[in-house]
Amino acid sequence: MKIAENTVVGLTYELKVSKEADEIESAPFSVEVRDTEDPFYFLFGASDLPQKFEELLLGKEQGEDFSFVVPVLEAYGEIDEELIVNLPKSQFSGENGFNPEMLQEGNFLPLMDEDGYPMQAKILKDLGEEILLDFNHPLVGFDLHFEGNIEEVREATEDELAHGHVHGAHGAHDEE
């Protein structure tokens, strides 16, 4: 079966990233590996992945290898300075579920938006009474280099299509 709209896709891959600065591109470095012990599954056409990533997988079959680069502007884009904000440290108190160890520079804080959806912010700097947070996607500003294998391609179930995500052993819910 070929990868197409409304199929469930399971991948193994290594993701490397590189960044261009002053016309000089950094050597790609590895940031994530999904192997046969922990493959990555998603519902094709309904993922939060960059559209270019799905376009480059379209039509590939189970067992096929892939290797491609998703350039920064077709991946997560450039840094949005408006998503870098100062917030009072008092918002991250113990009664709100935070502890001091979580508030270290470089850590990612697990947060929720006003609609209850999970999100994260990276702590850039401790400013005393405030902390400087970056709400940009962690891979913003990078070219994404994918190399891997298509482990599985199958038709999505009606439940998966209705819910917009994969169910079962590799998805959001256990088999019902």
Domain around 100: 81-134
Are 126 and 149 members of one domain?
Answer: no
Indicate the residue type of 128.
G
| 150 contacts 11 by C-beta, under 8 angstroms | yes
Residue 34 sits in a domain whose CATH number is 3.10.50.40
Are 106 and 148 members of one domain?
Answer: no
The answer to whether residue 22 is domain-embedded is yes
The tens digit of pLDDT for each residue in 38-58 reads 999 999 998 889 999 999 999
The tens digit of pLDDT for each residue in 44-93 reads 998 889 999 999 999 999 999 999 999 999 999 999 999 999 999 999 98
Q: How far is 9 from 114, CA to CA, in rounded Å?
A: 31
How many domains does the chain fold into? 2
Does the model's pTM come out above 0.75? yes
What SS3 state is found at 128? coil
The answer to whether residue 114 is domain-embedded is yes
